[in-house]
Amino acid sequence: MNADLAAYLEAWTDDPRLVKPVFSAVALAMAQAGAALELVVRPGVTASLRAAAPGPQVGPRPLFALADVVEDPDGRFLSVCFYDDAVSDPEERGQCVPLGLLGEDARCFDIDATDPDMAPYLAARLAEAAR
């Protein structure tokens, strides 16, 4: 885990929707998939964890996944997006978002409350997308 991400997680103390553990699990799964991680924080708006394949970019897609922690008055929520054609969604937990990831159709999974099954489900999607 990179230093920026570790500092962000350490500073995240208020979690009424209990999504921090899911975000942490997603970050770990991204790292285990060999991703080069970049955290882009827009204070008061979002923190975007961008996962790119390690090494030089191959093809037109600079990322294979994006996890956004969205600031909300009721507590942060999480949206994890992939290119729609890069992942399956056998349980239909995600939603198709036209042009939702860098101008391409996305499959996004929004988490705004604790769901113990979501982290492993997303880890499987991350493994697919990283291939």
Range 79-96 average pLDDT: 96
Residue 118 contacts residue 19 (beta carbons within 8 Å) = no
For domain 3-130, which CATH number applies: 3.40.50, 3.10.129, 2.60.40, 3.90.1150?
Answer: 3.90.1150
Per-domain residue ranges for the chain? 3-130
Q: Residues 6-38: pLDDT tens digits? A: 999 999 999 999 899 999 989 998 888 888 999
Q: Taking all residues of the chain, what is their mean pLDDT, rounded to a whole number?
A: 90
pLDDT for 90: 97
Nearest to 104 by CA among 61, 48, 70: 61
Higher-confidence position of 87 and 56? 87
Range 79-92 average pLDDT: 96
Q: Is the pLDDT of residue 53 over 90?
A: no
Residue 122 contacts residue 25 (beta carbons within 8 Å) = yes
Separation of alpha carbons 8 and 124, rounded Å: 24
| E strand or H helix at 110 | strand 104-111
Share of the chain above pLDDT 70, in %: 95
Nearest to 120 by CA among 90, 97, 100: 90
Separation of alpha carbons 37 and 67, rounded Å: 11
Higher-confidence position of 56 and 78? 78
